[in-house]
Every structure is written in C-alpha cells, then in structure tokens.
Amino acid sequence: MAATSSSPTPESPQPRASFVERTKGPSGLEKIVLREARGFSAEVHLYGGQVTSWKNDHGDELLFVSSKAIFKPPKAIRGGIPICFPQFGTHGNLEKHGFARNRLWAIDDNPPPFPISTAVKSFADLILKPSEEDLKIWPHSFEFRLRVALGPGGDLVLTSRIRNTNNDGRPFSFTFAYHTYFSVSDISEVRIEGLETLDYLDNLKGKERSTEQGDAIVFESEVDKIYLDAPKKIAIIDHEKKRTFVVRKDGLPDAVLWNPWDKKSKTTQDFGDEEYKHMLCVDPAAIEKSITLKPGEEWKGKMELSAVPSSYCSGQLDPAKVLQG
C-alpha cells in the first residue's frame, strides 16, 4: 500500500491526523480504511477492489450498500462502487459486468507515479492481474492499477490505469464503468442535472436509442439508461437532504443511470424490497465505444466525487453553476 501517514499519540489534541489502516470487514474480508484529519473517511475492500463506504465529516454515509449485501466470494458486493471490467452489463460475452468486481485484488507496493496533490495523504493502491482461470474466459494479459484517494476536503477520487501486457502482439478491447451507488433520502426527491438533451440507450427497451427530453431528470419508475457523450460533470440534487453530489469524470465518455424500482427489487436476492427508494446509481463509463489497447498501451479513467451542502429549493445553489465551475 503506497501510503504513509503518522498516527496521533494518545495525548494529541485536535486536529486528528490523516491515516491509512488495513483491517478486516464482514466475513473477514480484508479492507483498507482511509481517514482525513477533518473526519472524512472511506473504505475499500480488496475483494473486488471495491469502495464500500464514503462518509462526510459528520459521519453520514454517502454511498449505498444494501442491508442484504453478501460479503462472500464469489458473489459481488451489492453497493458502494463496483468496478465493471472488462465488460459493462451484457455488452459482450462475459458474465454481467465482467469479473474484476469478484476477484481478490492485491495491494500495489510499487505503483507508477499518479498525478496527485501533495495535500492528499490518505490513499491506497491496488492491482489486479488475470489468473489462469481468467485467461480461459478472457484470453488477454493485463495489469489493472487502481488508486483510491480521499482528499482533505472529503472528495473521493478513483483513478484506474489498465495496460495491455499481451506477449503475442494482440490488442484487446473492453468496456468499463464505476458502478456508483449513491445514498439518497428519497428517490422521488432527486433530480439529475447535466444529462438533458443527450442521446441514450435504454436497456429496458433492448438498447433502443432515444433522446432525453425535459429540463432535468426525475424518477418515477425503473430506469436503466446509458447516456452517450455525457459531460465531464453531472450533478445529483437531493432536495430532502439539501445535498448535491457532483460527479466529475475523465476518460469516461458515457454515464449510466440505474434504479431497479419496486418489482425488480423484490426479485433481487441481495437487495431489500424498499431499498430502491434510498439509492441511485450514476456510473461514469466507457460503453458505446469500447476501449482498444495494443500491447504496451495504457488507458486511464478517473472519477472524482464530492458532496456539497445545498439549498437548491430556495435557489441558493444553481446546479448550472456547479456544472460549469
């Protein structure tokens, strides 16, 4: 784990120090806890390379993890930020969402340089390489490096670097997503800014291509859409909590919106019947146009999440300014 920071002595006063801790979570699965001096925190499991918690300085959980999530391989963990690689959804011949989310990642003790602010003290570097079994189902050698960083202001940044390490000269192609489950007060009180007028593929209608209508996106039923050529910033406005999530993305042209609604929730084993009311997936992704790498080439995809208090209902926060700023 390429992160070091000093722990406070028992008699140390505030402020608390930033630190990185390696510990165990449910079912004994190993995880890394990141903390910042002002009280922000995040957790990432080595299983799946998956962020499973992101809390603000008041200890409020910002990500959704189902109360029925199964923390036991080979089942993927329901919630947090699963990594979809080398395939998103059913856009290919592999298992849904690929295999990275249910593999055991390793701590990367010798990561390449990542552009990062010197103010960021809490981060972890993970790496995934294919096993012999993986090569049987997807016959390509790769190195997938993931950095999870927690900024001093509580921003959560995930940076993925995927390199083709094939020795036979063959390129490979993949699709990708950060399948991010946000915690919201009530899905009926949430709106999305930044995806208006975009073309999208509707997975509920056989990937039918349509154009988004209206000024903003609200939720009244199941949604499973892939927005194409989405902007680099998307705002998720939670009226009831007076909170806005800002999603920034780079190298990821698409964005997925997903909420299973009531019927699908009731037929999903690891998802509570009523939990759809309190979650929303907004996934920075590369889906419509797959990424192709020749041997030795590397791709990078970055997502930055921030949560800002807002009074959107009273007009104190203009989402358009958030998206432009």
pLDDT tens across 2-37, in order?
444 444 444 434 446 668 999 999 999 999 999 999
SS percent in the chain: helix, strand, coil, step 5: 10, 40, 45
Nearest to 65 by CA among 50, 47, 49: 50
In angstroms, the first-to-last Cα distance of the chain is 33
Q: At residue 273, does pLDDT exceed 50?
A: yes
Mean pLDDT of the region 198-224: 95
What does the alpha-carbon distance between residue 25 and residue 27 come to, in Å, rounded to a whole number?
6
**Residue 17, class by beta-carbon neighbours within 10 Å (0-12 exposed, 13-18 middle, 19+ buried)?**
middle
Q: Would you state the pLDDT for residue 325?
A: 55
pLDDT tens across 225-253, in order?
999 999 999 999 999 999 999 999 999 99
Tell whether pTM > 0.75. yes
Q: Would you state the pLDDT for residue 53?
A: 99
Q: Would you state the pLDDT for residue 9?
A: 43
Q: At residue 321, does pLDDT exceed 70?
A: no
What does the alpha-carbon distance between residue 83 and residue 50 come to, in Å, rounded to a whole number?
7
Copy the structure tokens of residue 217. 């996106």
Q: Which residue has the higher pLDDT, 27 or 319?
A: 27
Q: Would you state the pLDDT for residue 323?
A: 59
What is the dihedral angle through the alpha carbons of 237, 155, 283, 88, rounded to the nearest 10 degrees?
Answer: -170
Answer for the pair 56, 307: CB distance below 8 angstroms, yes or no: yes
Mean pLDDT of the region 247-268: 96
Question: Can you tell me which residue has the tokens 């390509």?
Answer: 140
Answer for the pair 246, 306: CB distance below 8 angstroms, yes or no: yes
What does the alpha-carbon distance between residue 307 and residue 7 come to, in Å, rounded to a whole number?
26
pLDDT tens across 83-139, in order?
999 999 888 788 889 999 999 999 998 898 877 677 788 999 999 999 999 999 999
pLDDT tens across 162-175, in order?
999 999 999 999 99
What does the alpha-carbon distance between residue 259 and residue 53 come to, in Å, rounded to a whole number?
19
The ranges assigned to domains in the chain are 19-324
Q: Would you state the pLDDT for residue 34?
A: 98
Q: Which long-range contacts (CB under 8 A, 24 or more apart) does 196-201 make?
A: 198/227, 198/228, 198/229, 198/230, 199/227, 199/228, 199/229, 200/225, 200/226, 200/227, 200/228, 201/225, 201/226, 201/228, 201/288
Q: Please state which CATH number belongs to domain 19-324.
A: 2.70.98.10
What does the alpha-carbon distance between residue 81 and residue 263 come to, in Å, rounded to a whole number?
23
Q: How confident is the model at residue 260 (pLDDT cuts 50, 70, 90)?
A: very high
The widest CA-to-CA distance across the chain, in whole angstroms, is 62
**Residue 271, class by beta-carbon neighbours within 10 Å (0-12 exposed, 13-18 middle, 19+ buried)?**
buried
pLDDT tens across 44-83, in order?
999 999 999 999 999 999 999 999 999 999 999 999 999 9
